[in-house]
Structure 1
Amino acid sequence: MKFVRFGPAGREKVGCIDARGELRDLSSAVADLNLPTLGQSGLRKLARLKPEDFPKVKGRPRQGVPFTGISKLVGIGLNYRDHAIEAGMAIPAEPIVFMKATSCISGPQDPVLRPAGSAKLDWEVELGVVIGKTARSVSLEKALDHVAGYCVVNDVSERSFQLERGGTWDKGKGCDSFGPIGPWLVTRDEVPDPQSLALWLDVNGEQRQRGNTATMIFGVAEIVSYLSRFMTLLPGDVICTGTPPGVGAGMKPEPKFLQDGDVMTLGIAGLGEQRLKVQPT
């Protein structure tokens, strides 16, 4: 099933996308899509609901983050070989792990806010892996059993903060609005192979990123298993699994970064699309 939350920020209702691509209002049956509360068993019960039994939503309401209860937003860096090459960095022997502050999380249509002092604001379309069952030192073979579903994430990055200010990458990854998630949470049963999904991102209608999760260095199962050795993954946690080539910092003959008023459109096959406009803080 494809779950959504729609409506004004802080007052979202739960909905789903039916077989015709239309938004249905599930709020009469579901108060909120809180994954720590629901977990995988709760999602399975919700998946038995029949979308046609619920009213269609008129118009084009704002879409929010499709679920709540995110305790961690974990990033994986340089997980596509071509992206590592365009960044001029070594191919990692193990997953590169960083954290994005949960305060950066925003909806798939909300503005991306340029922070004060920003000079190199960049884009990164990524497959988001949503945890549905507590994962602690899980094996590779059982890793996907702990996944609730998948979503689109834009790992918005400020490169000068990330790479030129010393310390870890986190400073360039966690500013407000740097973690748009959604529009949908697509349950795992609808994504039989997370390693065969096409990703794309355009800026102002011009092609920037094209890729496929088949070319990941570390696949979804390996990432979940790996991370679970170093931290407990909880229901609702989101893993950003890396981005394909085509980011602004890697453009030739010179880098190109986001400016106020620019519009990013991005998506992943079967997981929906985001539309994000850059504006000053």
Structure 2
Amino acid sequence: MKRARVAYGGAVHEARPHPQGLQLADGRVLAEDQVVWLPPLQPGTILALGLNYADHVKELSKELTLSAQDEPLVFLKSPSTLIGHRGFTRRPADASFMHYECELAVVIGRTARRVRRADAMAQVAGYSVANDYAVRDYLENWYRPNLRVKNRDTCTALGPWFVDAADVPDPHRLVLRTTVNGRETQRGHTRDMVNDIPALIEYLSEFMTLQPGDLILTGTPDGVVDVGPGDEVVCEIEGIGRLHNTLVDDATFER
């Protein structure tokens, strides 16, 4: 089952897909542009992975020093970073290189502490699509994202749908694809994660308790390019959804 959260008529509604756009829980059918799309859930802790696709590591290999023994690169994000489908993300005027990151978002469904790999997928409630932008100028170095890179307001689009885990037979067999103004610039596959979902849940739950609603952003493949104000970026994961986002400049954002 796919479901979304939208604002319409002064209220927040749950919505489902419909051939004409979406259908509210009360039965009303609306076009996509008639509503304000919200993130499909209100998350607790947001944990994001850096360099979790081998091809993306290779893409940045000149700036990195990594080994197979390195632990997953994980950092925390604030809920204030999130915006919904068809939302607007600010590109700071001083940014010389800002890029999207198409990611499979994993939603935790039950309290998880010291979970074994074999039991990890039972902790997953479902999935969504995330676009977690980064301004490379703001990095402390190329592989340790600092607070300003990954916790800026509006820097992470999420949605449009929350998809139940039962409707995704194998989340490690999904194609990820990004287009910028209709041109494909990124294509990858979730089978190429360095640390797959069970490994991440096992690793994280060893030292922290995961709670229902916690979100794990699992990283992006190679193919990131610089984007600027006015660019429409669409991140798509097969079976999960197509997430639209538009970049705006400082003046437009403050308007």
Return the TM-score normalized by structure 2.
0.88
CA distance in 1, matches of 2:136, 2:80: 19
Give the whole-Å Cα distance in 1 for the aligned partners of 2:86 and 2:222: 23
CA contact (8 A) 2:117 2:202 kept: yes
**What is the aligned counterpart of 2:57 among 79, 84, 88?**
84
Question: Which is richer in strand?
Answer: 2
Structure 1 equivalent of residue 160 of structure 2: 183
Aligned residue number for residue 13 of structure 2: 13
Unaligned 5+ segments in structure 1 are 29-54, 249-256
State the Cα distance separating 1:84 from its structure 2 match. 0.2
Q: Write the deviation string for residues 151-200 of structure 1: whole angstroms up to 9, x where unpaired.
A: 00011111111245997533211111111110000000001111001100
Question: What secondary structure is seen at the aligned counterpart in 2 of 1:229?
Answer: helix
Matched position secondary structure for 1:142: helix
- CA deviation profile, 1:108-167 (whole Å, cap 9, x unmatched): 211011235322211110000001111111111111111110000011111111245997
Deviations 1:63-104 (A, max 9, x none): 221112x12111111111110010113355321111222210
Amino acid at match of 1:2: K
The question of whether the paired residues in 1 share the 8 Å contact of 2:52 and 2:195 is answered with yes
More displaced stretch, 125-134 vs 113-122: 113-122
Higher RCO by CA contacts (8 Å cutoff, separation 6 or greater) = 2
Q: Does 1:217 align with 2:190?
A: no
CA-atom RMSD, angstroms?
2.2
Aligned to 1:246: 223
Correspondence 1:58 to 2:30: yes
1:252 alignment partner in structure 2? none
Would you say the 8 A contact 2:6–2:12 is kept in 1? yes
Q: Give distance in 2, aligned partners of 1:72 and 1:280.
A: 29
Deviation, structure 1 residue 62: 2.9
Contact preservation (8 Å) 2:21, 2:31: no
* 1:63-142 correspondence runs (5 A): 63-68=37-42, 70-88=43-61, 89=64, 90=66, 92-93=68-69, 94-115=71-92, 117-142=94-119
Q: What does residue 237 of structure 2 align with?
A: 268
Gap change, CA 1:98 and 1:23, over 3 Å in 2: same
- Asked if the contact 1:98/1:170 (under 8 Å) is kept, the reply is no
Q: In structure 2, what is the equivalent of residue 194 of structure 1?
A: 171
Q: Deviations over 1:230-257 (max 9, x none)?
A: 2221111110001011012xxxxxxxx2
Distance in 2, Cα, partners of 1:276 & 1:8: 19
Q: Which residue of 2 aligns with 1:228?
A: 205
Q: Distance in 1 between matches of 2:142 and 2:121?
A: 37
Residue-pair matches, total: 244
Separation (CA, whole Å) in 2 of partners of 1:258 and 1:105: 19
- The ranges of structure 1 where at least 4 consecutive aligned residues each deviate by more than 4 angstroms after the TM superposition are 164-168
Length-normalised TM-score, structure 1: 0.81
Alpha-carbon distance in 2 for matches of 1:260, 1:151: 25
AA partner of residue 157 (structure 2) = P
Match of 2:139, SS state, is helix
The more displaced of 126-135 and 114-123 is: 114-123
3-state DSSP of counterpart to 2:169: coil
User: Structure 1 residues 22, 263: closer, same or farther in 2, change over 3 A?
Assistant: closer
Query: Is this contact kept in 1: 2:108–2:124, CA < 8 A?
Result: yes
